């Protein structure tokens, strides 16, 4: 069974608001075993609405509309439904009474314009709205179909809270009754970092093939690769059984590129490994604006991140530092004194030039100052020309541990904050890979 989702509103087509309703509805449809085949956004005009709904109704078995059911002149979804169905609008006294009663409960006289919300195409059904004055519309559409089939259309208000309640109470149960058999859809997300999207796909022969069961999709966001395994089966347990072999093949093929599942971030993986090894981590950032420290702090469930110092890239000679609140325990180094000391050390070390050697020295000093098992230093960002004469930006990454220092380099790509996020993730991934390569020898 296929569905189309139609979002209505000038505010959506002009970009003034982002259409979050369609994404939510598609997720809900998927959980019912219904595939969303198309998203359409239409402005508040009858002509565009009719064209969009006509196309959607010919493309899918179910159409979900959000928006356009209010009492104002630009709320035209009911007129669009009348136009596509060929059924004129009629006043529904029972619905009008319900709307009027809702106003009376608030001691408000119902405006005459709200009568519009009681107008329904002949033969349609009202979808109750427990929290608002705009009931939904449930209608069958057959115009344009030559095979005698019909499309079930559910029109809901655009207000998310009202739409979701009406979906849960009325629409979802109605769709379940339309399903020929029980069909559970479950997703399993595998999170990866350290290679590009095309490189990951090449390492997974035949897995991304369309029509495969279970289906594997690949997406990338801020250099994190997500592999989404989608299984259809009569039960949740059967879906999980389908997930298992495919996930195992992905892990075998990608190795340490895989760092987690579902909502895991790199910082989650680091926190878990540090806890297992009984280790701690401190950070000094130059030029990444506290991105690494922020990510680690957000996932510092077990207190393995003991503190960080953030130094500005632009003016090392006028160093300021900000303390990270991750370290509050009395038995750890005082973060204020650590910030002050490391700021002074960085100022002296980097006054002349920021070489990899000076960054590694700062990493070792950070290790000693915080008393942590590992110390990560990122930056500064160095701009230069590449062989072809283009601009190249690199960031030095140093990780100090009790037995020495590991050094790396990250070539920055992207623009704005995306560059910083990618750089921060590369630095954290260096920590993760180092921990995996050393086993439990350093615990």
* Rounded Cα distance, 419 and 296, in Å: 18
- The average pLDDT across 139-146 equals 84
- Looking at residue 347, what is its pLDDT? 56
Confidence check: pLDDT of 336 > 80? no
Confidence check: pLDDT of 310 > 60? yes
- Looking at residue 213, what is its pLDDT? 85
Confidence check: pLDDT of 412 > 80? no
Split at pLDDT 50, 70, 90, the class of 211 is confident
Torsion of CA 415, 418, 422, 423, to 10 degrees: 60
**Model confidence, pTM:** 0.72
Split at pLDDT 50, 70, 90, the class of 106 is confident
184-261 CATH: 3.30.70.2860
The CA radius of gyration of the chain, in Å to the nearest whole number, is 29
Burial class (CB in 10 A: 0-12, 13-18, 19+), 58: middle
* Rounded Cα distance, 153 and 130, in Å: 20
- The average pLDDT across 270-294 equals 92
Q: Lowest mean pLDDT: which of 31-40, 148-157, 389-398, 402-411?
A: 389-398
Token pair, residue 386, equals 């590449």
- Looking at residue 171, what is its pLDDT? 97
* Rounded Cα distance, 288 and 359, in Å: 14
Largest CA distance in the chain: 83
Split at pLDDT 50, 70, 90, the class of 313 is low
* Rounded Cα distance, 131 and 134, in Å: 9
How many percent of the chain have pLDDT more than 90?
Answer: 57
Q: Which CATH architecture has domain 2-178?
A: 3-Layer(aba) Sandwich (3.40)
3-state secondary structure of 229: strand
* Rounded Cα distance, 6 and 13, in Å: 12
* Rounded Cα distance, 176 and 171, in Å: 9
| DSSP at 182 | -
Report the 10 Å Cβ neighbour count for 349.
19
Q: Lowest mean pLDDT: which of 97-111, 302-316, 426-440?
A: 302-316
Of the spans 272-281, 335-344, 346-355, which averages the highest pLDDT? 272-281
| DSSP at 249 | H
Q: Please give the mean pLDDT across all residues of the chain.
A: 86
Confidence check: pLDDT of 329 > 60? no
Split at pLDDT 50, 70, 90, the class of 398 is very high
- Looking at residue 348, what is its pLDDT? 54
Token pair, residue 262, equals 């579902």
Instruction: Give the list of residues 6+ apart from residue 401 with CB closer than 8 angstroms, or none.
Output: 367, 373, 374, 375, 434, 442
Confidence check: pLDDT of 339 > 80? no
Measured in residues, the chain has a length of: 443
* Rounded Cα distance, 69 and 85, in Å: 17
Token pair, residue 64, equals 């979900």
| DSSP at 60 | -
Residue from 390, 426, 399, 392 nearest 410 by CA: 426
Hey, which bits of 193-245 come out as E strands? Answer: 215-221, 224-233
Q: Which residue has the higher pLDDT, 410 or 35?
A: 35
Instruction: Give the list of residues 6+ apart from residue 298 with CB closer than 8 angstroms, or none.
Output: 267
Q: Which residue has the higher pLDDT, 209 or 170?
A: 170
Residue from 286, 289, 283 nearest 305 by CA: 283
| Pairing relationship of beta strands 35-42 and 136-141 according to DSSP bridges | unpaired
Split at pLDDT 50, 70, 90, the class of 341 is low
* Rounded Cα distance, 422 and 426, in Å: 6
Confidence check: pLDDT of 315 > 70? no
Parse the chain into domains and list their residue ranges. 2-178, 184-261, 266-438
- The average pLDDT across 38-45 equals 96
Helix axes 291-298, 266-277, angle to 10 degrees: 70
Split at pLDDT 50, 70, 90, the class of 350 is low
Residue from 372, 368, 200, 188 nearest 279 by CA: 372
3-state secondary structure string across 12-31: HHCCCCCCCHHHHHHHHHHH
266-438 CATH: 3.90.950.20
Split at pLDDT 50, 70, 90, the class of 323 is very low
Residues pairing with 186 in the sheet: 231
Split at pLDDT 50, 70, 90, the class of 311 is confident
Whether residue 30 contacts residue 232, with contact meaning beta carbons closer than 8 Å, is answered with no
The secondary element (H helix, E strand) that includes residue 42 is strand 35-42
Q: Is the preceding omega at residue 63 within 30 degrees of 0, hence cis?
A: no
Confidence check: pLDDT of 196 > 80? yes
Split at pLDDT 50, 70, 90, the class of 352 is very low
Q: Lowest mean pLDDT: which of 144-148, 191-195, 335-339, 428-432?
A: 335-339
Whether residue 381 contacts residue 394, with contact meaning beta carbons closer than 8 Å, is answered with yes
Q: Lowest mean pLDDT: which of 101-105, 146-150, 291-295?
A: 146-150
Q: Lowest mean pLDDT: which of 5-14, 247-256, 385-394?
A: 385-394
Confidence check: pLDDT of 35 > 80? yes
Split at pLDDT 50, 70, 90, the class of 330 is very low
- Looking at residue 369, what is its pLDDT? 87
- Looking at residue 300, what is its pLDDT? 87
- Looking at residue 207, what is its pLDDT? 85
Split at pLDDT 50, 70, 90, the class of 332 is very low
Confidence check: pLDDT of 132 > 70? yes
- The average pLDDT across 90-103 equals 92
- Looking at residue 318, what is its pLDDT? 34
């Amino acid at each position: 069974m296929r569905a189309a989702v139609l979002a209505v509103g000038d505010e959506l087509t002009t970009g003034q608001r982002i259409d979050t309703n369609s994404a939510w509805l598609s997720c809900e449809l998927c959980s019912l075993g219904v595939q969303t085949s198309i998203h359409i956004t239409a402005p508040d005009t009858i002509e565009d609405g009719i064209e969009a709904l006509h196309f959607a109704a010919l493309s899918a078995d179910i159409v979900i509309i959000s928006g356009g059911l209010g009492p104002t002149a630009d709320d035209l979804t009911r007129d669009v439904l009348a136009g596509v169905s060929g059924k004129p609008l009629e006043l529904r006294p029972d619905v009008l009474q319900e709307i009027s009663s809702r106003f009376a409960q608030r001691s408000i006289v119902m405006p005459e314009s709200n009568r519009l919300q009681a107008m329904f195409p002949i033969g349609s059904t009202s979808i109750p709205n427990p929290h608002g004055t705009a009931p939904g519309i449930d209608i069958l559409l057959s115009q344009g179909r030559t095979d005698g089939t019909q499309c079930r259309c559910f029109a809901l208000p655009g207000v998310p809270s009202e739409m979701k309640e009406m979906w849960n109470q009325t629409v979802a149960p109605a769709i379940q009754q339309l399903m020929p058999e029980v069909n559970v859809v479950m997703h399993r997300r595998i999170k990866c970092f350290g290679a590009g999207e095309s490189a990951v796909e090449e390492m997974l022969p035949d897995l991304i093939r369309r029509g495969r069961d279970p289906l594997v999709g690949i997406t990338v966001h801020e250099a994190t690769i997500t592999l989404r395994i989608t299984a259809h089966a009569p039960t949740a347990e059967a879906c999980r059984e389908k997930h298992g072999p495919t996930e195992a093949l992905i892990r075998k093929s990608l190795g340490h590129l895989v760092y987690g599942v579902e909502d895991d971030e790199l910082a989650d993986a680091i926190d878990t490994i540090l806890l297992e090894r009984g280790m701690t981590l401190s950070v000094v950032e130059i030029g990444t604006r506290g991105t690494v420290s922020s990510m680690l702090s957000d996932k510092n469930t077990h207190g393995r991140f003991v503190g960080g110092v953030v130094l500005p890239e632009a003016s090392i000679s006028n160093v300021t530092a900000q303390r990270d609140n991750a370290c509050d325990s009395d038995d750890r180094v005082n973060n204020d004194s650590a910030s002050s000391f490391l700021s002074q050390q960085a100022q002296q070390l980097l006054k002349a030039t920021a070489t990899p050697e000076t960054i590694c020295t700062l990493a070792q000093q950070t290790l000693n100052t915080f008393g942590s098992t590992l110390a990560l230093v990122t930056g500064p960002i160095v701009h230069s020309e590449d062989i072809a004469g283009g601009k190249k930006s690199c960031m030095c990454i140093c990780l100090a541990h009790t037995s020495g220092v590991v050094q790396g380099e990250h070539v920055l790509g992207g623009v704005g904050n995306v560059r910083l996020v990618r750089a921060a993730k590369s630095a954290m991934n260096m920590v993760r890979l180092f921990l995996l390569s050393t086993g439990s020898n350093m615990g």
